[in-house]
Amino acid sequence: MLTTENEAFQKAVEEIFNSCLGCEVKLKEIGDSTAADRINEIKGIIGISGAICGTAALSVSRDFAYKATGALLGETPAELNSDVVDAVGEIVNMIAGRARVLLGNEATNMSLPSVIMGQCEIAFGSENHGTCLRFETAWGPVSMELVLKQQSKSAIPNVTPVAILA
């Protein structure tokens, strides 16, 4: 069953991939996040705070990242470079921004995106259980991990701890 946040991120991925990248995308499944969801070597991560707080992480293959960069810039790179890093960061930023609008949470803040390259695991902390939206695209599989929760009314904001394990 989809939650409102899952539905918003699903729709945001579909809209951004179709309109900005020209890449067909289809939701394959939704489930708990697992280490297998983090096998792609390029990850775009963005923090979210406000009415909803947490982290959204887009995991893509190198080949997908090259094709997406080509779609955004008009020239497909032959190697991993700063254009690829910028493109993956911008894609996760556009997805999170669109999801924020779809949720009606324009007051929600987003961090600058970070891009992690190489085989590593993203650990979200023992009390934070993630959901993974797994997609099939014309350029290969993509996953979107979400560790989100509604913000409490406390004056002290909730924080989602994130660790990158190499």
Q: Express each pLDDT in 125-135 by its tens digit.
A: 656 668 999 99
Assign residue 120 the CATH number of its domain: 3.40.1550.10
Number of domains in the chain: 1
Rounded mean pLDDT of 141-157? 76
- pLDDT category at 122 given cuts 50, 70, 90 is low
Q: What is the pLDDT, as a whole number, of residue 41?
A: 84
- Computed over every residue of the chain, the mean pLDDT equals 85
- Range in 18-27, 80-89, 112-121, 157-166 the model is least confident about: 157-166
Q: What is the pLDDT, as a whole number, of residue 1?
A: 36
Rounded mean pLDDT of 74-95? 96
Asked if 107 and 51 count as a contact pair (C-beta separation under 8 A), the reply is: yes
Q: What's the DSSP call for residue 19?
A: I
Nearest to 165 by CA among 113, 123, 115: 123
Q: pLDDT: is 25 or 31 the higher one?
A: 25
Domain of residue 10 covers 4-158+161-165
Question: Residue 47, Cα to own-chain centre: how many angstroms?
Answer: 10
Q: What is the pLDDT, as a whole number, of residue 124?
A: 61
- pLDDT category at 35 given cuts 50, 70, 90 is low
